[in-house]
Amino acid sequence: MPNRRKLPTVHAGSMADIAFLLLIFFLVTTTIAKDKGIARKLPKKCPPGQVCSLPIQERNVLRLFLNDTGELLVNDEIIPVSQLKEKLIEFIDNNGDGSCHYCNGLGSLHYSENPKKAVISLSTDRLAAYSEFIRVQDEITKAYLDLREKYVLDLLKKTVAELSESELEEVKTAYPFLISEAEIN
């Protein structure tokens, strides 16, 4: 009589349960990184029956164009991105109409009338590098931050950290962030 031993068997039914529990465990304990992007507040939608577009004088618009090779044109003049912040500050803080009591600009006829009317128009080529687009956006943001910080220090005699909500709104009203973005095919 041949010796027939029973071969051990593995119960695979519980393996599926263990794999499922491990999957649930990793899904629950894993942190998902937040997407990074540019913090911008979109304009409100124009109510029906109202005209929401106002005519803007050409001197109040600074036109920026980022082409596919990464060159930055500011009013049809090529400049390095590193010089953009200073150009923006000159344009925004110009006080061309003399109505801005806190502006430090020269009052040039080629730049904006005052910060409340200054619009930055940014156009980018579809093939422009995203990293260059971000660099331009960063320079725009830095220019507005510098102008706002100077306003806080000079007029309010405080630091930015000490501002109340109403003072923060005053600073934002003094130097509103007006930007128009477009993509060129």
* Element at 180 (helix H, strand E): strand 179-184
Do the domain assignments include residue 131? yes
Cβ atoms of 181 and 134 within 8 Å: the answer is: no
For 110-139, b where at least 16 C-beta lie within 10 A, e where not — what string? ebbbbbebbbbbbbbbeebeeebbebbbeb
Do the domain assignments include residue 83? yes
Do the domain assignments include residue 42? no
pLDDT tens sequence across 44-95: 777 777 777 777 888 889 999 999 898 999 998 999 999 999 999 999 998 8
* Percentage above 70 pLDDT, the chain: 91
Cβ atoms of 112 and 167 within 8 Å: the answer is: no
What is the value of pTM for the model shown? 0.73
Count of domains forming the chain: 1
Do the domain assignments include residue 27? no
Do the domain assignments include residue 48? no
pLDDT at 40 over 90: no
Report DSSP state, residue 45: P
* Element at 73 (helix H, strand E): strand 72-74
Do the domain assignments include residue 21? no
Do the domain assignments include residue 30? no
d(CA 94, CA 114): 6
Range of the domain at 127: 60-184
